[in-house]
Chains A and B, each alone.
Chain A
Amino acid sequence: MNTKPKLGMYWAASCGGCEVALVNINEKILDVAANFDFCFCPCLLDTKKKDIEEFADGEIAVTFFNGAIRTEENEEMARLLRRKSQVLIAFGSCSYEGCIPGLSNMHTMAAHFKSIYIDNPTVDNPNGIVPKPQTQVPEGTLTIPAFYERVRTLSQVVEVDYSIPGCPPESGQVWHVIEELIKGAPLPPKGSILGAGSSTVCRECPRDKTHRKVSRFYRTYEIIPAPEPCLISQGVICMGIATADGCGALCPKVNMPCIGCYGPPEGVLDQGAKMIAVLGSMIDAGERKGLSEDEMARRVDLILDSIPDYSGTFYKFSLAGSILGGRRP
């Protein structure tokens, strides 16, 4: 009988990138196999739900749960794995804060079904059939898991012990967490963020931060930024200033803005609100003398018009876990 501690990994509403991030630890995956009984991972191993149903509660030492909670099935698996695991870790942005699936909280379920199954130009659906939990057919009743009105994060559904941010988490950080587990290091306080720093991406970014003022915004296709100055001072919205460090500032190092995949930095509840706080103090609407308060507001609005999608830019990864959580119905 295998006496090694059990390790599980599951995907809910996810893309598979988080599993790729795990195997990207390369040959160290052998150390994982040597130290753990990798008991469950539908993406990589031929393991089934019934395998873990047969486990005693708490039999799995650690589960990495990636993916958001979009359907009834996602929720059922989250509850099952919570019960069977001593330590449940939200792995990656989808599970930790909703990520790209969470952006769908800007629309209703009915609107999604309409655009996916009815208005979609590549779909021929004259009877307007959309998925529903139960369908009667001559042979009986077919059931599929219900689709939820909203995407939720893992911690909005079950108790989560730790979270590893990133879309996906950087493999070096993933290995660092696993290494600590293998060493049997004392676990950090419950609720801690693992595999990230306690500052912002700016800390890891080598760009010059001395003149962070901005008087117009550019979208990434409109400008090739200079390599040295901070991207914000060049009018490119870089979320690095409102994003936890830990990735090594990968994006600004290759002349692309950070889009915020590591989520809010320590002490920040809402990444979008933080971004407004910092950009609001960097906007420079030009000469102020003699301008009325209304005229000043109009000038600022003109600058702000150049940002086409506020929620999609400031909450690209964190919408479902943000304070507002999405559009009001």
Chain B
Amino acid sequence: MYDVAIIGAGIIGSFISRELSKYDLKTVLIEKDNDVSNGTTKANSAIIHAGYDAFYKTNKGKFNALGNPMFDKVCKELDVAFKRIGSYVLAYSEKEIETLKRLLENGEKLGIPDIKIIDGDEIRKREPKLSDEIVAGLYAKTAGIVGPFELCIALCENAVENGTKLLLNYEVSNIEKNENRFIISSNEKSIEAKYVINCAGVYADKINNMVNKPKFKITPRRGEYYLLDKRTNGLVNSIIFNCPTKMGKGVLVTPTVHGNILIGPNSEDISSKEENKTTFSGLEFVKESASKSVKNIPFNEVITTFSGLRAEATGGDFIIEKSDTKGFINVAGIKSPGLSASPAIAKYIVKIIKDLNEGLKENKDFNPIRKKIVKFSELKDEEKKELIKKDKRYGRIICRCENITEGEIVDVINRLVGARTVDGVKRRARPGMGRCQGGFCSPRVVEILARELGKRVEDIVKSNKESYIITKETKGNIDYNK
């Protein structure tokens, strides 16, 4: 029997499992998909918000404010890229300046450091591509960008290294409480745990309803994005928001940690929890809104578009609490700024678990440091030479757009919480993230995955179980003159 079962290996579940791995607990992290970070955590704006935005009395406000300063340390320990590049919320009118003032005041109540309102000219001096119409902006120095799926994967890897059990392909279909333990089943299989932490993203209502009365409902709220080629690097150097509205923080333009430009999201309530598609109208809206803040965005440099689903819970705030059933904790409705809040949410959950377990001991063997990921293209020539001497596979470039070597791909397959799918490799080592979107390298990645995993090429999938790439072997010789 486990002490703690965490349902959902998104950023929230992963962060909690890593924090709990610091203690002497038997923890299992359960995920329905064949990889971690396959839900909302893989598709969002990747901003670590400074924290002035959400109302100071809400969980969103409190946890964001606490979470932001925690990123430097954890990202360093786990070798995940994180950059504090600062953000601007732009105002185009007197009325919008009032909104900025409200945000500033809210931020001050939350104790957010280094926020101030500056005038339009000063903003344009710092970000020359911004619109001439801007009259003022709220600058927040501590806002940052991170690789959300890299962070989530790194957290899982570190948790597993420190003793957490990761259970993939395990879709929780039923939970029963039996005296002091929960029986958590998926089809015929089941496991037992003393405590359950529900971090199931857009499905958190479904999981809650397995043990509790339906107290909240999660509505998926879709947001769509454009990603631009690295050639556009420098279009903006900080995070650029339009003024917020009721539906959210509005469309932003930001660099990513890898040097692309990300533009989005729109905001649309939908009925299906699986419809993370892009739409013509959604993307047109994003284009229009972004063009308001940044001049001449090169939309001909788009390399991909995607969308993510926010888990919008009844009431609109994060639900982070012990539920009516003792030992069952909900971490639900974690929409934006969920990523930014995640370290603080994890700390808070640890506190709850500690309260439930008097005398809980620390895990003496806890190792906070994750083995470094080799980023070949960032090494110096001398280091590259050394590495190739040791392992020839670092001398073979597989992804020609991002210059990713075979050595790096093999490494991410063979690590703890290693990649099992083409998308898994892509999220960990980035082949296929570049401008050709895997056109050249995907056949090679499939081949390497099959070889390293001892599988048939036909059995390698893009992402989930049914996302097969290849149907069969070809017939061979074809006569064209027939």
> Are chains A and B native binding partners rather than an unrelated pairing?
no
> Chain A: residues with CB nearer than 8 A to chain B?
none
> Chain B: residues with CB nearer than 8 A to chain A?
none
